């Protein structure tokens, strides 16, 4: 694609006010109340370089806006207000048990990262498909006739509903002894009106044999365009997680924090945000498969991680001045043995979801970003990871079949799970006191210390043509998610 003009004189005003009060309802009960107000005005472009399609179902030409006309209107169901409430309660006399809870509404204001998409809309941007062009320097192409427009502009609705999330927590904390704290947390998030891409110019569908079907003679509502990439707040998301935490405060040189999270993250296309999902290889794209049936898009979020264990620790070796052994050491022994510490961060987590897709457009979906999915074979497994998989074949594609022409595939969104990850990072530090107020710190850092391979996403396109022939690369892993072992050394003089 080639943008004709990317310079814009954007104008948008935004302001916010926040009030919070913490007060003691009782000697063992603290209540937190907060209220945030956010006001935002619709963006406009002061040079008249902005155009919109007033009626996406009938109009052909984009209409230029004046410098005072807004790009889109903003609807806020809460009138700008976002309340928060929380409490902390210590029910036992020893003051070592704390129950905490909180709830709040948080908004995702439609700022520049959303409306800068106007740069991809006509008349200032064109998208072309070029078959075997003959290139010359400088650009453009040698033969302009080799360019054919795809007719798929990227747009936003004329009225945008403000996305928001409802967030809540419930936490039980207990102190054990002088240094150990254990916590159990329940965390939840509900996302509403999240942005996703869909095609409102999709051909109309009917129900045939209990399934969505595109008739062969169906026509797009607006014949002036093949399809639209329409970024609109049409998606929702729900996240629930149990978190278990064990924390040790520093004592005898040892401190650590260990946490385990068991979570489930579900959305129907937009829960990962504008860029989050598309930056993850193999995950479902930001685009909706069937805009006529958003319920069929409900599945695991592209950022879903079911199990996640994290351990961070620091241990000062008990040698040298100020330590258990060698406290009175001097000379070479003092400088060789003293001041050493070991630090580490370890992460073990399950894999991210992958969207099973295919090349042939059986459903009649004409959008460029259409993530076509196949059918599940009767009795098949939608997460057919092999028990003894290798990078050459991660999953069994025989669980999927090509659906009849006109039907949308019944395989769900993000059903396949990619390999999990194990990351072990280690560092050694040594403090060398040179003189009063001067210290030389040596550091050796080992990333992916055991050199463990964390494999990336497998090729997720099952069929390559309408005859149902398998893609030769299906299930093959050709990348890693993390780099190989890396070691770096550093010296830092503090004075």
47 and 9 in contact (C-beta within 8 Å)? yes
> What total of structural domains would you count in the chain?
1
Q: Which residue has the higher pLDDT, 28 or 139?
A: 28
CB neighbourhood size of 135 (10 A): 10
93 Cβ neighbours under 8 A, 6+ residues apart: none
Q: Lowest-pLDDT range, 231-240, 334-343, 369-378, 440-449? A: 334-343
Q: How far is Cα of residue 359 from the mean position of the Cα atoms in its chain? A: 25
Residue 148 lies in domain: 2-494
Question: 373 by DSSP, 3-state: which?
Answer: coil
Residue 272 has pLDDT above 60, yes or no: no
Q: How confident is the model at residue 20 (pLDDT cuts 50, 70, 90)?
A: very high
Identify which of 466, 464, 226 has the alpha carbon closest to the alpha carbon of residue 366: 226
Mean pLDDT for 335-359 is: 91
pLDDT of residue 122: 75
158 and 73 in contact (C-beta within 8 Å)? yes
Percent of the chain exceeding pLDDT 90 equals 64
pLDDT of residue 449: 94
Determine the Cα–Cα distance for residues 34 and 189; give it in Å rounded to an integer: 18
pLDDT of residue 366: 78
In order, the DSSP letters of 272-300 are: T-TTTGGGSTTS--SB-S-TT-GGGG-EE
pLDDT of residue 277: 44
Identify which of 331, 279, 328 has the alpha carbon closest to the alpha carbon of residue 303: 279
Token pair 């902005």 in the structure block, residue:
50
Q: What is the pTM of this model?
A: 0.87
Q: How far is Cα of residue 106 from the mean position of the Cα atoms in its chain? A: 17
**Where residue 227 sits, what CATH number does that domain have?**
2.40.170
Identify which of 271, 289, 293 has the alpha carbon closest to the alpha carbon of residue 280: 271
**Structural Rg of the chain based on CA atoms:** 29
Determine the Cα–Cα distance for residues 133 and 314; give it in Å rounded to an integer: 59
Q: How confident is the model at residue 142 (pLDDT cuts 50, 70, 90)?
A: very low
Determine the Cα–Cα distance for residues 101 and 96; give it in Å rounded to an integer: 17
- pLDDT single digits (tens) 364-383: 887 777 889 999 999 999 99
pLDDT of residue 282: 61
């Amino acid at each position: 694609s080639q943008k004709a003009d990317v310079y814009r004189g954007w104008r948008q005003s935004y302001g916010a006010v926040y009030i919070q009060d913490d007060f003691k309802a009782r000697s063992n009960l603290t209540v937190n109340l907060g209220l945030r107000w956010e006001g935002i005005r619709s963006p406009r472009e002061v040079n008249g370089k902005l155009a919109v399609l007033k009626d996406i179902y009938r109009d052909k030409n984009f209409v230029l806006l004046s410098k005072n006309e807004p790009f889109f209107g903003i609807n806020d169901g809460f009138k700008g207000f976002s309340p928060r409430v929380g409490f902390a309660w210590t029910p036992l006399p020893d003051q070592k048990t704390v129950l905490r809870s909180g709830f709040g509404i948080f908004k995702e204001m439609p700022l520049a990262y959303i409306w800068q998409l106007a740069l991809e809309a006509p008349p200032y941007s064109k998208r072309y498909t070029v078959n075997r062009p003959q290139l010359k320097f400088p650009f453009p192409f040698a033969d302009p006739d080799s360019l054919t427009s795809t007719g798929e502009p990227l747009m936003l609705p004329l009225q945008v509903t403000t996305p928001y999330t409802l967030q809540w927590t419930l936490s039980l904390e207990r102190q054990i002894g002088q240094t150990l704290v254990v916590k159990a947390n329940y965390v939840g998030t509900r996302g509403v009106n999240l942005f996703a891409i869909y095609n409102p110019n999709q051909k109309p569908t009917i129900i045939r044999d209990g399934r969505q079907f595109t008739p062969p003679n169906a026509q797009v509502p607006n014949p002036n365009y093949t399809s639209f990439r329409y970024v609109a707040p049409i998606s929702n998301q729900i996240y629930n997680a149990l978190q278990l935490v064990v924390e040790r405060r520093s004592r005898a040189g040892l401190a650590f924090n260990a946490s385990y999270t068991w979570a489930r993250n579900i959305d129907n296309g937009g829960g990962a945000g504008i860029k989050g999902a598309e930056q993850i290889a193999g995950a479902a794209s930001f685009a909706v498969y069937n805009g006529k049936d958003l319920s069929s898009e409900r599945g695991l979020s592209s950022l879903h991680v079911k199990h996640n264990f994290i351990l961070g620790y620091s241990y000062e070796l008990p040698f040298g001045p100020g330590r258990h052994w060698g406290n009175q050491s001097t000379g070479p022994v003092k400088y060789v043995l003293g001041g050493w510490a070991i630090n580490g961060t370890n992460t073990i987590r399950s894999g991210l979801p992958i969207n099973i897709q295919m090349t042939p457009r059986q459903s009649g979906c004409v959008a460029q970003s259409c993530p076509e999915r196949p059918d599940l074979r009767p009795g098949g497994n939608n997460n057919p990871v092999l028990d003894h998989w290798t990078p050459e074949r991660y999953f069994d594609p025989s669980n999927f079949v090509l659906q009849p022409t006109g039907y949308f595939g019944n395989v769900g969104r993000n059903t396949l799970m990619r390999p999990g990850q194990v990351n072990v990072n280690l560092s050694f530090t040594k403090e060398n006191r040179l003189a009063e107020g001067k210290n030389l710190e040596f550091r050796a850092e080992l990333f992916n210390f055991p050199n463990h391979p964390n494999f990336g996403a497998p090729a997720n396109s099952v069929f390559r043509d309408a005859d149902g022939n398998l893609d030769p690369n299906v299930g093959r892993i050709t990348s890693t998610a993390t780099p190989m072992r890396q070691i770096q050394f550093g010296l830092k003089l503090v004075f």
